[in-house]
Amino acid sequence: MSRFPGQPYFDYRGDQLYVEELPLADLAREYGTPLFVYSKASMLAALGAYQRGFGDRNAKIHYAMKANSSLAILQVFAQAGCGFDIVSGGELERALAAGAKGSDIVFSGVGKTRAEMKRALEVGIACFNVESEPELEVLSEVATSAGKEAAVSLRVNPNVDPKTHPYISTGLKGNKFGVAHDRVLHAYQRAAQLPGLRVVGIDCHIGSQITDVGPYLDTVDRMLDLVQAVETAGIPIHHIDFGGGLGISYHGEQPPQADALWAQLLAKIDARGFGSRTLMIEPGRSLVGNAGVCVSEVLYLKPGETKNFCIVDAAMNDLPRPAMYQAYHAILPVRTRDDMPHTYDVVGPVCESGDWIGHTRELAVNPGDYVAVMSAGAYCMSMASNYNTRGRAAEVLVDGTKAHLIRERETPAQQMLREKLVP
């Protein structure tokens, strides 16, 4: 067993940190740093826990691809039978390029454009997860003028507190997401009247990095109450989509395992008589977060008056979560040393005080050593930017003893490709 609870596919052998059967240091030397490294076995194990959880139920898993939308990552999930939850026209094209069929895709998001709706109808997506009444009207117009019928679910706001960071809580009153609880019936009645729409389901998503079962149990109750109310009004609901949000272990959190969580939720769903419905979920972070690390080189050790800094070549443009949400990522030496550790703030080269990766970390490292920023598979590469004209990192997918370069490092020329000087 690995000593990292969430990341069993990453562990030390002797003084070397390995991913599956390969030393991370070898990958860093071959492909350069900063480098994202993913374990395919870890991704499939995470998906497998959900698939086991649902057994032979009538259920469909749509990977919320905004967590990590690199093509090869999507390809692994598509080949394992997973569908996709998208939030933009760009993600639609990525999912298709990775081998998904339109019918494997559901489309979430509060601000879908007419062009995005039209394209999604063209490729025959499974469902639009509509977030407001005005969006229903626009989708009806777009579908009618394209001569198509749009399958519609309403994203409802169950007003459940997921007890997570306010920036990643989405199912409370006052969030921009979903149809307010007391408008749901009205919105379904409108959807049922509008031409070009076919009501098929109901969905929600209450937040992210949820580590308790409680908020999910509350959500199940609220959702099933709503299904009953809508069906009593004569509008059948064929599928119930509970969204994503299950947390991972970054720093000692102990979220439920996906199969254990779903055993509890399914018991409740069965007890209320909804066990034979089509059930859907949209996990993101919990499928990829602990399948990836970011390997970075130590550039300088800089003693300060009150703090020592460990300056590495990865930065907030590669790893935005600490700057955005004060998030914690473990930082480990890729090769351990016997030297005395020192306390460092681990920071990147970007010209912002917000550019930190970890505060007060004990590390025994020298310049030229590599460190691994752990649990970096979700909401890192997909949020990476070119701030400070830094090229986005390369990515490698490891499968046992094999490493596949799945994204080349971005060059300055590629960053400037679409820019023009004035005459």
Ligand X SMILES: *Cc1c(COP(=O)(O)O)cnc(C)c1O
Q: Any idea which residue has 């310049």 for tokens?
A: 367
Nearer to ligand X among residue 68 and residue 140 (C-beta): 68
User: Degrees (nearest 5) of the Cα angle 261, 130, 378?
Assistant: 45
The distance of closest approach from Cβ of residue 64 to ligand X in the complex, given in angstroms and rounded to an integer, is 3
Options 208, 249, 375, 382; binder of ligand X; rule CB under 6 A:
208
Nearer to ligand X among residue 23 and residue 243 (C-beta): 243
Nearer to ligand X among residue 153 and residue 296 (C-beta): 153
Q: Measure the CA–CA gap between 118 and 191, rounded to whole angstroms.
A: 18
383 near 338, Cβ under 8 Å? no
Which amino acid, one-letter code, is at 221? D
219 near 242, Cβ under 8 Å? yes
The distance of closest approach from Cβ of residue 36 to ligand X in the complex, given in angstroms and rounded to an integer, is 17
Q: Where are the beta strands (DSSP E) in 163-219?
A: 179-180, 197-203
The stretch among 227-235, 268-276, 281-289, 367-375 that binds ligand X (CB under 6 A) is: 281-289
Options 39, 286, 290, 382; binder of ligand X; rule CB under 6 A:
286
231 is an annotated ligand-binding site residue: no
Site for ligand X in 74-103 (CB under 6 A): 85, 87
* Nearest Cα to Cα of residue 38 among 345, 422, 381: 381
Options 285, 329, 390, 392; binder of ligand X; rule CB under 6 A:
285
Contacts of 285 (CB under 8 A, 6+ apart): 67, 208, 209, 244, 245, 246, 247, 248, 378, 379
Give the DSSP per-residue string, 296-324: EEEEEEEE-SS-EEEEES--TTT--HHHH
The two tokens of residue 324 are 């955005």
The distance of closest approach from Cβ of residue 66 to ligand X in the complex, given in angstroms and rounded to an integer, is 5
DSSP 289: G
272 is an annotated ligand-binding site residue: no
Annotated catalytic, 351?
A: yes
178 is an annotated ligand-binding site residue: no
155 is an annotated ligand-binding site residue: no
The distance of closest approach from Cβ of residue 267 to ligand X in the complex, given in angstroms and rounded to an integer, is 22
Q: Any idea which residue has 């050790």 for tokens?
A: 301
50 is an annotated ligand-binding site residue: no
Which amino acid, one-letter code, is at 87? V
379 is an annotated ligand-binding site residue: yes
Which amino acid, one-letter code, is at 40? K
Contacts of 53 (CB under 8 A, 6+ apart): 258, 259, 260, 261, 262, 263, 266
348 is an annotated ligand-binding site residue: no
Nearer to ligand X among residue 130 and residue 142 (C-beta): 130
Residue least distant from ligand X (Cβ): 284
* Residue 283 in contact with ligand X, rule: CB under 6 A: yes
Here's the x/- map for ligand X, 44-63, by CB under 6 A: it reads as: --------------------
Choose, from 82, 204, 351, 380, the residue flagged as catalytic. Answer: 351
Options 6, 53, 196, 245; binder of ligand X; rule CB under 6 A:
245
Which residues contribute to the site for ligand X (CB under 6 A)? 64, 66-67, 85, 87, 108, 205, 208, 243-246, 282-286
Catalytic residue IDs: 351
Query: Annotated binding site: which residue ranges?
Result: 245, 282-285, 321, 325, 352, 379
